[in-house]
Amino acid sequence: MTPHDYANENFQRFCDELVDLLRLPSVSTDPERKHAVLDTADWLAAHMHQIGLENIAIMPTAGYPVVYADWLHAGISAPTLLIYGHYDVQPAVLEDGWQHDPFTPEIRENRLYARGSADDKGQVMVHLKAIESLLANGGCPVNVKYIIEGEEEIGSPNLAAFVTQHKDLLKADICVISDTGIHSLEQPLIYYSLRGLLSFELIVSGPTRDLHSGYGGMLHNPNQAIAEIVAQLHHPDGSVAVPGFYDDVLLLSDAERAELAKANMPDSEWQKMMGDLPEWGEAGYIRIEKYGARPTLEINGINGGYTGEGFKTVIPAKAIAKISCRLVANQKPEKIWEHIQNFITQITPPTVRCEVRYLGGGEPAYTPIDHPAVQAAVRAYGSQWDNPVLFARGGGSIPIVADFQSLLHVPVVLMGFSLPDAGAHGPNESFHLTMYRKGIHTIITYLHEVKNAAN
């Protein structure tokens, strides 16, 4: 039997097994779910054993463990793939608007509804069912290593340390991550880059205590001063005003722009998101370029004084803003952080005090479209879909993608199977069963196609 036939014949069981996994409420941010998170790691380890993977280990970290397994019998000349996923999920309660208990999976109209179905348990199972289909029918053409972590939804605080500590164990030629989306049921799409992140806090202070606004007129109100500082962070044309901000940005080639244009956000999606408001931002770039290929500086939060019911005539002692930059290929968070600190010092007026605090960061990730490991993915999707694969740069960040690149020096390929309306992080999250089935076939094909990609 071919691995593909095996996958088709066993698909109902594959669904039942995914349902079992989804019953475990592995909410990593909720201390009360600790046992469920640990049970999920156990479930995965047992399942990996059952399907023929080897060297299975529930490996401790400072937080939840990483589940490791491998199969290394493809021979010394075959490349080794490192496959990453996560077994923890976002919080979910019925009251958020779920049609049923989020940890009691239900199938309706060929979709499996449950928390974690798309993000990321369904996609983890795509990989496990693909390798099972191969191992049950003669083996896998490449060597594979799996690391499934339990803290992605809380920002993977311990994964970089884990990867650093286990560099030898995790040595690979290519890393595959299935934790992103696809364009639509009919249209495959590969994200070949993700933005990095730099997050900081800006604190502007003035009076030693909150003042009655009767004092207004002679002192610089921190609410006003923070608005003036924040307003100077962009030029009127929408570009970021921090000197040096764009210095290292990898420019887009015409060929890349042509590829991106095919996957641009359609007007209908813009209107759903923004109503009739016109677009904003750097001139000369289309939407997908603005959010995927250009760095940004966003004010995620601003707060000072009284904004409750009614009004309070107060001048606050301080005001704060939480700001994050999305960084693109070639930009270094630490360098951008230097530029930002210098600029804020430069634009702070003498009439207030200003302080900045680093909150977190991660490098951008980028694997060129023409990399053989990406082209193998194109052929793998091509085996299951008629429409040619689109390429996009993702606007978000998965810090671990960049960590794999920089710590293990491997190209990272993102092969996502979640639909745009999957509702990841929201109520009624679902995984389309067609995506589950096609995903398994795609990965089986990929493990063949990638055989020569690393050489």
Residues in 203-262 at the binding interface with a copy of itself, rule: CB under 8 A = 206-221, 223-224, 226-228, 230-234
Q: Look up residue 74 and give its two tokens.
A: 């493809």
> Helices 122-135 and 11-22 sit at what angle, rounded to 10 degrees?
140
Handedness of CA 388, 413, 410, 195 (dihedral sign): positive
- As a dihedral over the C-alpha atoms of residue 277, residue 283, residue 289, residue 294, rounded to 10 degrees, the angle is -110
Do 68 and 162 touch, CB atoms closer than 8 A?
no
Cα torsion through 167, 168, 173, 175, rounded to 10? -40
| Least distance between a copy of itself and beta carbon 193 (Å) | 12
Considering only residues 181 to 200 of the shown chain, the ones binding a copy of itself according to CB under 8 A are 195, 197, 199
For residues 430 to 449, the per-residue mask of contacts with a copy of itself, x marking binding by CB under 8 A and - elsewhere, is: --------------------
Interaction residues for a copy of itself, span 60-119 (CB under 8 A): 90-91, 96-97
The number of residues making up the chain comes to 455
Q: In the bound complex, what is the minimum distance in angstroms from residue 156's beta carbon to a copy of itself?
A: 12
Smallest distance, a copy of itself to C-beta of residue 338, A: 20
Quick one: how far is CA 416 from the chain centroid? 11
**Other CB atoms within 10 A of residue 340 CB:** 24
For residue 116 the two structure tokens come to: 């974690």
* Residue of the chain from 76, 168, 267, 273 that contacts a copy of itself (CB under 8 A): 273
369 binds a copy of itself (CB under 8 A): no
Is 3 or 63 the residue whose CB approaches a copy of itself more closely?
Answer: 63
Distance of alpha carbon 156 from alpha carbon 404, whole angstroms:
13
Query: How many Å separate Cα 211 from the centre of its chain?
Result: 43
Q: Which amino acid does the sequence have at 87?
A: Y
For tokens 């060297």, the residue is 55
Site string for a copy of itself, 396-425 (x = CB under 8 A): xx-------------------------xxx
Q: How far is the CB of 325 from a copy of itself (least distance, A)?
A: 9
Among 77, 267, 350, 386, binds a copy of itself (CB under 8 A): 350
CB of 124 vs a copy of itself, minimal distance in Å: 18
Q: Is 284 in the site for a copy of itself (CB under 8 A)?
A: no
Q: Which amino acid is at 104?
A: T
Does residue 388 belong to the site contacting a copy of itself (CB under 8 A)? Answer: no
Q: Segment 9-68, which members bind a copy of itself (CB under 8 A)?
A: 29-31
Nearest CB to a copy of itself, comparing residues 353 and 409: 353
> Is 313 an interacting residue with respect to a copy of itself (CB under 8 A)?
yes
Task: With H, G, I as helix, E, B as strand and everything else as coil, classify residue 444.
Answer: helix
Q: Under rule CB under 8 A, how many of the chain's residues touch a copy of itself? A: 97
- H/E element holding 48? helix 34-50
